[in-house]
Amino acid sequence: MEKHRDRISTPVTALIVIVALVIGIVGGYFVAPTPAGVTTTVTATETRTVTVERSVTTQVTTTAPPTTHERVDITVWTNWPARWDDNAVGRVLRENLGYDYVHVAHEEKDLGDIEELTLLAVQTGMGGPDVAQIEWPHVTAFYKSGGLLDLTDKVMPYKDKFPDFHWNMMTYKGRVYAVFYDLSSCGVMYRTDLFAKYGLKTPDKWDSWDDVVTEGRKLKAQNKSAYMFNVWNDPSIYLAFAQAKGVQVFEESPDGEIKVLLDSPEFIAVAEWLDSLVKEGICFYGDYASYWPPLTDGTMLMDVPFPAWNSWFATTAVPPEMQAMSGKWRVVEFPPFEKGKPTSCIWGGSVLAIPAHTKHPEEAWAYIYACTMSMEYFLRGPELFQEYPANVYLPMLERPELNEPYPYFNGSSPFTPCIKALQYLPQITVTEYYAVMEEQLGLAVNAIIVEGVPIETALKQAADNVRAEIAG
Amino acid sequence: MSRGRSGKRIRDLSKAYPFIYLLPFLILFSLFFAYPMIHSLYISFTRYKIGEFDPTFTLRNYERILGDSLFWNGFTVLLMIGAIQLPITVLMSLALAAITYHGIRGGKIFNIGYFTPTVSSLVVAATIWAAILNPAYGILNHLLRSVGLPPQDWLGRLIQISLMNVINWRWFGWYVVIVFAGMSAIPIDLYESAKIDGSGRIKTFRRITLPLLQPTLMYIIFVSIISVVNLFAEPYIMLGGSTFSSQTARSRLIYTPVMYLYDVAFRYFNFGYSAALSWIVFIIGFLSSFLVLRKSAFMRI
């Protein structure tokens, strides 16, 4: 009997383990949250007066918190440092917006990882964050998945508080699924000390890009290892210059037919212009690792395009070498391509979105509201993270604090030129194939500059690959 | 009577033991390997993009591969890497294994030296190499400048050489161990007989070591081919990984088919096409390794 018991016990144990495993797997499948179909309720809004630091009193409209007060944990994935968020958005939610029961678990991740993992989450309807930061042109690919929460009812009351350009970029077929987080309209910053050293013109406003190139040639005549500006190997810079020149890369007809214009004569002209500057040595071409050192060792005189995030240069968030350069940089508007015709472009920029299967749509929305539209977050910026946030919400951009001169920027404001740029940002056509186009353009740019492939050939191949993807 | 039935049941159950023990593996294998493979084969014959799924059987994805310049460019890259890297791998492994086998002073440190990269984190290794090779601020160009040589564009035009160097540096320690094991398995009697017959070192190596090492070398070639066909992590990280991926122009010079199919799946969200690409990569990898095995003595041993 004992012998039999021994012989039985092992397979019986094995069976129990297997049954448990199967129950676990099957159970996990059924217990997992179901995708889509999450019903959200629009909460009432209230107007109240708050007094915050710097003795600023302002009228703000905030979303009233729901009545439940059980602890709610929300997960947020962004690429900004977790320590900022612990001190900022979570505190604003709890201390200013009445969401004292909300706890934010912020995970700092690379944007590429966030997009891939969030995509998997919205496809499967499981896991992922409650709020995800996504690069704005890439979010278009998520729209078709149906996996993002429709925020139209939430955001619509604030429609006139966003710049037209950004509102159009946030809207997909009349619906809003994501809210712009950061101002990415470009200005230019340059080193006043180095411009003086090389005897270059240091304008308050460039007349045109031709002037930049002329000064660049003067620089090269004096110092061959110095560069006027840096495009690094970034396709989005090519796209930014194309936008500033009013060149489209997509055209979409009302019936949804998409045309790829990457190999159009206009876009080829943009690429040829940048390529000629790289070949002349006016413009530096390198990888992202090469971005910081030339800004501090005196070999890079300008940083362009200049998005508002560079206002962080004035904080201790940047490397000590950059902090030590206080007073040397100056910020001006993006140079026009034709004299008297101001233009600008956006470079990067991201949105915040909520996967539709989130268990906490209200709290996730409150998070987005807190860090994109709440004046409390804006006004507490210096206290919480040393700087005013560079959002695209017009009531924030109209605040006098943003237009004050900064000692770090030689008496200029890093925000003013970017805010001005909003008036003349050319509209662009963004489709769900934007990320594909960006990837193909990156390969083409590298082939042009590194391998010496003719511009027209490389761009034609890139355009054909995007067309194949659209057709495929 | 009752005891008899119970004993029979136990005997019957004992026949099922192997299957019961195998069941956990089979369940996991089916869930995480067989099912995804079959499913990927299925979706490769459909149109399956994010938010769009048309289950109608179609060869469209495979037709598209025929004219996909990026995919075939990837295979040209692999051919070039394979053609240069394979002989280097085999020769270097052989040489180092021979040195290890015959023993040198400080052999243990030597062994640790070449094997350490194999056990180091791939991400760390590739990141460090990317920093060493950075054309503007890397140590390598700094060294070149310090001896009066011109700096080179290691991550530009020379990126293929840089990649091959990283792959070799990382993997050949492992190959050395395999070749060393192969050498150790050769009976010492054969060497003693050869010595008695007056055979020199070179002749002994050519007539005894090399033929008896053939299965081991074929195994190395076989594994190398599979690694080259599946090349992903090293070039992916050297090109910046997913960090700022959308803001980094990738180089076609090391843009491998697996990197491409990964991008198609997770950047273009075209799962059907990505599945078709992965099956073609699999078939090419399978055929090339099969041919190598058929041509070798490895199959006969």
Cβ <8 Å between B51 and A236? no
Q: Is B25 on the interface with A (CB under 8 A)?
A: no
Q: Where are the domains of chain B?
A: 60-114+172-295
Cβ <8 Å between B242 and A234? no
Looking at residue A351, its pLDDT comes to: 93
Low-confidence ranges of chain B (pLDDT < 50): 1-2, 243-245, 299, 301
Contact B247/A348 with Cβ under 8 angstroms? yes
Residue of chain B minimizing CA distance to A109? B243
The percentage of chain A sitting over the pLDDT mark of 90, rounded to a whole number, equals 43
Cβ <8 Å between B240 and A465? no
Which chain B residues are within 8 Å of A111, Cβ to Cβ? 244, 246
Looking at residue A133, its pLDDT comes to: 94
Looking at residue A137, its pLDDT comes to: 83
Residue A43 three-state SS: coil
Pair type for strands A131-135 and A72-78: parallel
From the list A221, A209, A207, A347, the residue with the least C-alpha distance to A273 is A209
User: Measured between CB atoms, which of B21, B49, B267 is closest to A435?
Assistant: B267
Q: Quick one: three-class SS letters along chain B?
A: CHHHHHHHHHHHHHHHHHHHHHHHHHHHHHHHHHHHHHHHHHHCCCEEECCEEECCCCCHHHHHHHCCHHHHHHHHHHHHHHHHHHHHHHHHHHHHHHHHHHCCCCHHHHHHHHHHHHHCCHHHHHHHHHHHHCCCCCHHHHHHHHCCCCCCCCCCCCHHHHHHHHHHHHHHHHHHHHHHHHHHCCCHHHHHHHHHCCCCHHHHHHHHHHHHHHHHHHHHHHHHHHHHHCCCHHHHHHCCCCCCHHHCCCCHHHCCHHHHHHHHHHCCCEHHHHHHHHHHHHHHHHHHHHHHHHHCHHHCC
Our CA-based measurement puts residue A44 at a distance from the nearest CA of chain B, in whole angstroms, of 33
Residues 429-458 of A with CB under 8 A from B: 433, 435-436, 438-439, 441-443, 445-447, 450-451
Model confidence pLDDT, tens digit, residues A86-119: 668 888 999 999 999 999 998 988 888 898 899 8
In what helix (H) or strand (E) does residue A412 lie, and over which residues does it extend?
Answer: none
Torsion of CA B73, B78, B83, B87, to 10 degrees: 170
**CA A67 to centroid of chain Cα atoms:** 33
From the list A107, A109, A110, the residue with the least C-alpha distance to A130 is A107
In what helix (H) or strand (E) does residue A44 lie, and over which residues does it extend?
Answer: none
Residue A257 three-state SS: coil
Could you tell me the sign of the dihedral formed by the alpha carbons of B74, B75, B78, B80, in that order? negative
Which chain B residues are within 8 Å of A441, Cβ to Cβ? 249
> What does the alpha-carbon distance between residue B54 and residue A25 come to, in Å, rounded to a whole number?
28
Looking at residue B61, its pLDDT comes to: 95
Inter-CA distances, B76 with B82, B186, B262, B280, B282, Å: 10, 38, 18, 15, 16
Q: Is B64 on the interface with A (CB under 8 A)?
A: yes
Test mutation, A115, A443, A464, chain B, max B CBs within 10 A: A443
> What does the alpha-carbon distance between residue B250 and residue A93 come to, in Å, rounded to a whole number?
40
Q: How many CA atoms lie within 13 A of A157 on its CB side?
A: 12
Model confidence pLDDT, tens digit, residues A48-83: 333 322 223 333 344 555 555 789 999 999 987 766
Structure tokens belonging to residue B62: 């495979």
CATH number of B60-114+172-295: 1.10.3720.10
Contact A313/A277 with Cβ under 8 angstroms? no
Cβ <8 Å between A119 and B266? yes
Contact A137/A105 with Cβ under 8 angstroms? no
Structure tokens belonging to residue A211: 């002037």
ipTM score of the complex? 0.80
Sequence-separated (6 or more) residues with CB below 8 Å from residue B217: B90, B94, B179, B182
**Which has more confidence, A268 or B301?**
A268
Structure tokens belonging to residue A468: 């194949």
Q: Is B57 on the interface with A (CB under 8 A)?
A: no
Looking at residue B1, its pLDDT comes to: 46
**CA B287 to centroid of chain Cα atoms:** 15
Test mutation, B247, B260, B261, chain A, max A CBs within 10 A: B247
Model confidence pLDDT, tens digit, residues A394-430: 999 999 988 888 888 888 888 899 999 998 999 999 8
Q: Which of A112-116, A319-323, A341-345 has the highest mean pLDDT?
A: A341-345
From the list A88, A85, A67, A64, the residue with the least C-alpha distance to A76 is A85
User: Measured between CB atoms, which of B131, B243, B266 is closest to A110?
Assistant: B243
From the list A186, A161, A163, A159, the residue with the least C-alpha distance to A174 is A159
CB atoms within 10 A of CB B134: 20
Sequence-separated (6 or more) residues with CB below 8 Å from residue A425: A163, A165, A185, A243, A344, A345, A346
Test mutation, A233, A291, A466, chain B, max B CBs within 10 A: A233
Q: Map tokens 């191949």 to a residue.
A: A461
